[in-house]
Structure 1
């Protein structure tokens, strides 16, 4: 009879105090302190990692070399199950010395615990209902075709939007959540391509941030590393910029 080896499960991803260090907000907000039943995790000197089994995605924080070591360990212990990973900037190059890493994209995980300054046009933001999903999808397809979250996506609790005087949707955004922890995650903020630069995105972002901070005490979001306009906006609205990350796939 063939023996079955069970992958060890880390009792506490937080035992090193990494979540209190700059650059580890993804651990602090993205991993529930009370570990979901059966979640697989790893920790080492200077890093911690955990697995989103549904996606085959390993999340890691800490020093890049230590985080890359945990990604390698996860891929070795769960061959065929680990398909992608997110880690501190540089993890992809280090893991790529031993794994076929592809499709690396640099991100910043940003967060705030403060309500932002009130923005012009913020009073125009309204909550949208399920009956508006078809309109939202058409708007996102036209003005933000690479959107990460769409109507009906998992974890979305709220859509909000701005309309022009004729009732036409000119901006939208969603309040979603991080899978493991349920932390509020802003997603798919988009404005009409012909109306950009008028503060609509800032108004919607501030409104959604305020909504999350008042209900949860904080808000998080992902920002592409090379998105300079978004970088300036999120900084102006009080979002911290301490968590440069990279996401990549592991080729079959």
Structure 2
């Protein structure tokens, strides 16, 4: 399927109404409808894509074949500037026929519009301010070294945590945001390994979800596709499981 490049304006991303279709929530929540005209986007037959220029990352939704063509179009238009992409499951195989890829990871972009059921220990969650950033850095370094975002990040609007009876931090998590739209994105939820099995991660995830839904009307998060315990938790909390994605880096890109 051959994609057609259109004028690079935000409105083009929504011309096909893909954001209303199942499996296109990344467009619905992740792409801003109103932005400056400097945002680059592409539209094809059944797919759209947009560029995070700072990261050299192309985001796409829709038909996998059309999305793959949009990624390849973007690379041809901006040689050396496209380093990685996220698209519908299967787009990696199609891009991979013409470009060498690495760091391929399958994800599920999950979202909810409703408050979750109350979880055990949720009442123990407290907000954490800038004065706790050092403590959060130490905790994440010890219990979640690969965390997606850290204290001090400009994308984070809120940190929350749970403490034990001695006041020691035993779980934490953040509300970050999707880069293009600013939509709430849960991130860096971590639990002390010695405290696992008490439902602390579930309590923190429910609390952050409830906060985001009350403040913004929805919450989003990324789940690694084969993380079965996380999948079960997000199912319990009411997150939709419709948007199956894949990300990859293009070998040799600048």
The question of a shared fold, defined as TM-score above 0.5 by the shorter chain, is answered with: yes
Contact between 2:122 and 2:203, CA under 8 Å: does it hold in 1? yes
Taking the aligned partners of 2:104 and 2:199, their CA distance within structure 1 comes to: 31
Is the Cα–Cα contact under 8 Å of residues 83 and 250 in structure 1 kept in the other structure? yes
Deviation sequence 1:97-136 (CA, Å, 0-9, x none): 1112111001100000000001111010000011111110
The answer as to whether partners of 1:62 and 1:88 remain within 8 angstroms in 2 is yes
Gaps of 5+ in 1: 1-6
Please report how far the alpha carbon of residue 35 of structure 1 lies from its aligned counterpart in structure 2 after TM superposition.
3.4
- Distance in 1, Cα, partners of 2:119 & 2:64: 37
Match of 1:147 in 2: 147
Task: State whether structure 2 residue 91 is matched by structure 1 residue 91.
Answer: yes
> 1:46, 1:228 → 2: CA distance?
31
Distance 1:19 1:245 in 2: 15
Q: How much has 1:242 moved relative to structure 2? A: 0.2
Runs of 4+ in 1 over 4 A off after TM superposition: none
Q: For 1:218 and 1:155, how far apart are their aligned partners in 2?
A: 17
Equivalent residue of 1:173, what SS?
strand
CA contact (8 A) 2:60 2:86 kept: yes
1:12–1:35: 8 Å Cα contact kept in structure 2?
no
2:21 matched residue in structure 1: 21
Say if 2:180 is the partner of 1:180: yes
Superimposed CA distance per residue, residues 133-187 of structure 1 (whole angstroms, 9 cap, x where no aligned partner): 1110111111111111111123101000000010000000000000110000000
- The equivalences for 1:71-110 within 5 A come to 71-110=71-110
Contact 1:36 1:180 in 2 (8 A): no
TM-score (norm 2): 0.95
**Partners of 1:189 and 1:217 in 2: how far apart?**
21
Compared CA separation, residues 108 and 36, structure 1 to 2 (3 A): farther
The CA RMSD over aligned residues, in Å, is 1.0
Equivalent-residue separation in structure 2 for 1:209 and 1:111 (angstroms)? 10
Q: Give secondary structure in 1 for the equivalent of 2:239.
A: coil
Q: TM-score, structure 1 length as denominator?
A: 0.96
